[in-house]
Structures are given as structure tokens and as C-alpha cells.
Amino acid sequence: MDLISGLLRRPAAASVLSLIGVLAFYVLFAGADIGKLAGAASWVNYAARIGIVALPVGLLMISGEIDISIGAMIPAGAMTTAIISGYYEMPIVFGMIGAIAIGLIVGTINGILAVRTNVPTLIITLATLVGMQGVVLAGSKLLTGTASVPLTAPEWAKTLFGDLMFGGSHQVLILWWAGLAVVFWFFLHQSRFGNWIYAMGGDKESARNAGIPVDRMTILLFILTATAASFVGMCNAIQFNSAQVSGGMNDIFNIIVSVVVGGVLLTGGFGSVTGVFVGALTFAIVNKGIDFTAIDRNWSNLIIGIMLLAAVAMNESFRNLAMRAAPSKRRKAKPEGPDGSIVVSSDSITSKK
């Protein structure tokens, strides 16, 4: 029992339960063949696509900000690669540098606007989202005269960024996702910088007073989200031999939903990389795994809606649980003093906000 309640208090608990719930629902009630589902690549590929961007977005949301310009950055990364290396026929390396550079530039703009102005980052990144859509469309029309650019990437680039592994149907992007998850896990949960991110999400002013370089960290996180998005776009362009101006818009909500299902608090200060990882996995299983069930795939959005609500409700109650008691046994051995319990918790926090 102790083990279970200890696990429930972790930020990833709700996402793991959502994953189990969705799988159980698909297998028990919708006739999904678990063997086929496990062997299929469609959902893993999709999880990797949104998961790579969800990792930095999760960190950014833990720090109390949000970035929706990622929706424009995926096609922006793809188009930059295709225009430079496809239309202008320069070596693929230039296209790749271009894609990463555009991520760095837009991320820096978002970050500087976020720390220099009082405009909420939802609005800032909404502006850069719409702005980048315009830049990508107009730029593509101006330079190439079309909104869809073909590209032929050399073999090594395909192997590294946009190929199917071992002749199967799993994309190499999955390895990038797993690798980046480990890096982000270390960054958030092991290094001291992770502590800064949590503190920033908890109380920005106190974090600044404690000597944490809040502005620099914020800019860094915005650069990470934008660059992760343009990286995914670049990989897609390399894999599919072309890039289109549209596409990637749905990703905004899909990525943010998977981050929230993953246990990250919208107002910041709480969440985990494991949760974000499982959140992306769960989202992908709902969205793509439905093809393996008897359910019409048009229902998948309804399931996502229900899952989102259920996961957030679970997150709320688990977080309260986590706040009320310690996952350690030492306190159990030592009974509470007669002067009272530790129940002041939640109201003292709400009163602060």
C-alpha cells in the first residue's frame, strides 16, 4: 500500500493511469488486438513526432510559460530545409543548419519578448505563431513560387534523421525522442537547473530574489521549444522528400494536450519528464491506436477530450495527496503531536494566489 500511494504522488501517476485506462478500454471493450497494436509503428512514430516537442514544452510549462508558436515552427523547419537544400540544391547540411537557425532565432525572439515585456507568453507566441505562418508562406511563394517544395536528401541524412529503422516501419525519430527524453530527464530532475525551473514556475519573484537567472533560463527554454519544433520539421522534410507550407497546425493542441495529460500543471511549478513522455505515448495510442479497434476513428477526439478531463482531475487530486503527506515511512513511525495535523495545506496556497 505504501508503495502504491508513494507512486500515486508522483507527477507522472495520472499519465500512467491514463495510458493503462486507454489500453484497457481498447482491448477489453473495443476489440483491439494487443499484439498487433504493440507491433504497429503508426502510433510510436506519431508519439515521437509530438513527443520530441512535448519535452521542452513540458519544461517551459513547468517554468510557468507557454509556447504555441511551435505549431508554425514545425512547417517552418521543414520549409527551410526544403527551400535551401531542395529548391536551391545546396548541400543538405546547409538546409539543416538553416532549420535549426530559424528555431534559434524565433525562440530567442519569443524569449526576449517574454522577459522584456509584460505581455503574457500565450499572446506573444500567438503573435509569433501567426507571424511565422505568414513569413513561411510569403517566403516560400517569393523564393520558389509554390507552397510545396520537393527535396532529395542524401543517404546519410536519411539514415540519421528520416528513415525507417531496420527496414521496418518504425522511424528513426523514435530513437531521437528516447535519447532526448533521457537528456531532458537529467536536466530537469538531476541537475540544479531543474530546481531553478520548478522555482520559476512556483514563484518567479522569489526565484529571482534567490539569485536564479530567471530571464536567461526563460530565453533558453523558449529556444529549446522552437528549435525542437524546427528539428522535427526538418526530419519530416528529409523523410518525406518534400515540405508543404500547411501542416503542423494540429500539433499545437496535440502537444499541449499530451503535456497536460502528462501531469504538468498549466500554471507551472509541477510536472515531470516521465509524465510528459508517457503523456505523448498515451495521446498517440488514443489517436492512432483507434485504427486497431472496432471503433470508428472519428470518435478518437471524443476519447481524447474525456481522457484530458480525467487526467487533469486525477492530477489535481494526486497533487493534493502529495502535498498533504510525505511518501516516507519515518513520519508514520512518529505519531502526530497533539497540537494538530498538517491540514492547513491547500487553503494557505489558494489564499496566496
Partner 1 sequence: MSENTPVLEMRHVDKSFGPIDVLHGISLKVRKGEVLCLLGDNGAGKSTLIKTLSGVHQPTRGEMLMDGTPVNFARPKDAQEMGIATVHQFGGTYPLMSIGRNFFAGHEPTKGFGPFKVFDRQRANRIAVDEVQKMGITRITDGDRLVGGLSGGERQSLAIARAVYFGARVLILDEPTAALGVKQAAHVLRIVNEAKRRGLAVIFITHQVMHAMAVGDHFAVLIRGAIAADFRKGEKSREEIADLMAGGESMADLEANIDGQLEAQDA
Q: How far is CA 196 from CA 92, 184, 199, 220, in A?
A: 37, 14, 5, 12
Q: Report which of 188, 279, 224 is spatially closest to residue 73, judged by C-alpha positions.
A: 224
Q: How far is the CB of 170 from partner 1 (least distance, A)?
A: 30
Is residue 196 part of the contact set for partner 1 (CB under 8 A)? yes
Instruction: Tell whether residue 168 is a contact of partner 1 (CB under 8 A).
Output: no
Restricting to residues 94-153, name those near partner 1 by CB under 8 A. none
38: which 3 cell numbers? 504493440
Rounding to the nearest 10 degrees, give the CA dihedral for residues 27, 33, 39, 42: -70
- As given in the structure block, the three cell numbers for residue 215 are 530571464
Task: Based on the shown chain and the rule CB under 8 A, indicate whether residue 337 belongs to the binding site for partner 1.
Answer: yes
- By C-beta, is 32 or 264 nearer to partner 1? 264
* 288 to 327: interface string for partner 1, x by CB under 8 A: -------------------------------x--xxxxxx
CB of 331 to partner 1, least distance (A): 6
- Nine-digit cell at 348? 494557505
What residues contact residue 205 under an 8 Å CB cut-off, 6+ apart? none
**Count of positions (residues) in the chain:** 353
The CA distance from 54 to 211, in Å, is 28
Using CB under 8 A as the binding rule, whether residue 48 contacts partner 1 is answered as: no
Q: Which of 89, 155, 296, 339 binds partner 1 (CB under 8 A)?
A: 339
CB of 218 to partner 1, least distance (A): 15
Name which of 184 and 198 has its Cβ closer to partner 1: 198
**Element containing residue 186 per DSSP (H, E):** none
Task: Determine the angle formed by the axes of helices 42-62 and 192-202, rounding to 10 degrees.
Answer: 70
One DSSP character per residue, 303-336 reads HHHHHHHHHHHHHHHHHHHHHHS-S-SHHHHSPP
345 binds partner 1, rule: CB under 8 A: yes
Residue 215 binds partner 1, judged by CB under 8 A:
no
Q: Is 35 in the site for partner 1 (CB under 8 A)?
A: no
In the list 137, 203, 247, 266, the residue contacting partner 1 (rule: CB under 8 A) is 203
Contact (Cβ atoms closer than 8 angstroms) between residue 15 and residue 279? yes
Q: Which is nearer to partner 1, 168 or 192 (CB)?
A: 192
Q: Least distance in Å: CB of 347 to partner 1?
A: 10
Site residue total, partner 1 (CB under 8 A): 42
Window 176 to 195, contacts with partner 1 (CB under 8 A): 190-192, 194-195
- Rounded CA separation 195/187 (Å): 9
Q: For residue 236, how many other CB atoms are within 10 A of its CB?
A: 25
Among 206, 246, 250, 301, binds partner 1 (CB under 8 A): 206
Judged by CB under 8 A, the stretch of 91-99, 276-284, 310-318, 339-347 that binds partner 1 is 339-347
Q: Give CA–CA dist 127/169, Å, rounded.
A: 37
* Residue (21 or 202) nearer to partner 1, CB: 202
Q: Applying CB under 8 A, which residues contact partner 1?
A: 190-192, 194-196, 198-199, 201-203, 206-207, 209-212, 265, 269-270, 319, 322-328, 330-331, 334, 337, 339-340, 342, 344-346, 348-349, 351-352
